[in-house]
Amino acid sequence: MNRIMVALLGAGAMITSTHSLAAAFQLAEQNVSGLGRAYAGEASVADDASVVSRNPALMSKLQGTQVSVAAMYVKPDVSLQGISTNNGIPASALDNNSIAPSATVPSAFVTTQLNDKWSLGGGMYSQFGLATEFDDDYVAGQIAGETEIVTINSGIAASYQVNDKWTLALGLNHVYADAKILRNLGANRLGISSNTEVVNLEGDDTGFGWNVGAVYNIDADNRFGFHYRSETDITFKGTFSNQLPAVAPFNGTAGKALSGSVAITLPAIAEVSGSHQLNKQTALHYSILWTGWNSFQTLAANVDNVGTVFSKDENFSNSLRYSIGTDHQWSEDLKLRAGFAYDESPADEHHMSISIPDTDRIWYSFGAEYQLSKVASVDIGVSIIRGKTQRFVEKDNSGSEWGFKSKGHASVFGLQYNHTL
């Protein structure tokens, strides 16, 4: 495989291309009850069966068998403005008002209390995902195109109440991940149409992980929680193809699919939370969530019988998310929620990309829970997420340099139904 082919494959091997709602391509949205307070106190608040995802040790606080089903609608507002080029193309040709499509993130959970010591639970949800889309004829097509990663986490967990103070939990997770990457040639000096497909990568894989949780009750009104989730190794195995001619100097595949793979490690996650009932109506919650993004240092793509055709330093750093929130029992049937969060980006400022214009984010969240009956309730939640403006220059494999200013905001709307059997 000659240099042109290697370069074009490398241009499209960015599976971390996104502007998602938490750090890098991490998703915070596992439930709507937590959405209303910016996910503050998730490791210490026992709202409903969704505790399976953030701290299964809290299952000991839930009576009987409980079911929660949720859907969150994510509406990103991510725009790019061109600020410079080195190839004579007007910078305005880089402008794009929307590179991230809207999406719905579902989840479902169930917990059951076996006796006064043991509880079991399970759930299906997503912790990582992304999507970005550019037009086929975008001038910087080598560094932008269509990128999508979908993950589905299926987990089971058990909790054991040691005594009045301590509860411990252990969980096992199965992660299914699917990836799709499309890139087009864009503006070039090769005399080839800009919408020529130079990368078409598709693949999937499954991985396994584990998680542990703990709850410590100071007294009836004050509680701390801790949760840790392990790394998960994923190797996307699938096919690579392009529309380049299968002749020199391109040595493309002319549409023929070759077997290939890209390996990543989904990072470990740890959370420490506190919850305090200030009076009969009002409670205060807070969290610090750590994500071990330092496991993501290099991204490499391999093609069978060829070897490594792309390797790119990402240099991600561990990140922290700080959140504080409250809920207030307005009436017997209505509980109100509000929260604020600051979410750090793990991206290296020297490795910024049009496909991952990641930045620090601020969350403003509001929500409510309404009791429909003694056994049923609904949660609604809204979060407004504001990202910082970023400026960076990215170089493609043809030597063109593209300068961007990116703005990334989002809104999240959620609805959840809870039922006690």
Matching residue, tokens 């910024």: 352
Output the pLDDT for position 310: 59
Q: Spell out the domain ranges in the chain.
A: 3-420
Strand pairing of 232-241 and 222-229? unpaired
* CA-based nearest residue to 174, from 143, 203, 152, 148: 152
Each residue of 11-29: b (16+ CB within 10 Å) or e?
Answer: bbbbbbbbbbbbbbbbbbb
Cis peptide upstream of residue 249 (ω within 30 degrees of 0): yes
Q: 280, 262 in Cβ contact below 8 A?
A: no
| Angle made by CA atoms 50, 54, 56, in degrees to the nearest 5 | 75
User: On the CB side of 16, how many CA atoms lie within 13 Å of its CA?
Assistant: 29
Yes or no: say if 272 and 43 are a contact pair by the CB < 8 Å rule: yes
Q: Would you state the pLDDT for residue 119?
A: 97
3-420 maps to which CATH number? 2.40.160.60
Please report the DSSP string for 92-109 in residue order: GGG-BS--S--EEEEEEE
pLDDT at 375: 95
Of 336, 329, 280, 273, nearest in space to 33 by CA = 336
Contact yes or no for 231/265 (Cβ under 8 A): yes
Identify the pLDDT of residue 360. Answer: 85
Q: Which residue has the tokens 């929260």?
A: 339
Q: What is the dihedral of CA 114, 117, 123, 128, to 10 degrees?
A: -170
pLDDT at position 128 is 82
| Residues ≥6 apart with Cβ < 8 Å to 347 | 24, 316, 356, 358, 359
Phi and psi, residue 269, nearest 5° = -135, 135
> What pLDDT sits at residue 250?
65
Q: Residues for the chain: how many in total?
A: 421
End-to-end CA distance of the chain: 61
pTM: 0.87
The C-alpha torsion from 88 through 92 and 98 to 100, rounded to 10°, is: 30
pLDDT tens per residue, the chain (421 residues)?
333 333 334 433 333 333 444 555 677 788 999 999 999 999 999 999 999 999 999 999 999 999 999 999 988 888 888 898 888 889 888 888 877 788 888 999 999 999 999 999 999 998 887 777 888 888 888 777 787 888 899 999 999 999 999 999 999 999 998 888 788 878 777 777 888 887 787 888 999 999 999 999 999 999 999 999 999 998 888 887 777 777 766 667 777 788 878 888 889 999 999 999 999 999 999 999 999 988 776 767 777 776 666 566 667 788 899 999 999 999 999 999 999 999 988 877 766 776 666 778 899 999 999 999 999 999 999 999 998 888 888 887 777 888 888 887 889 999 999 999 9
Query: What is the gyration radius of the CA atoms in the chain, in angstroms?
Result: 23
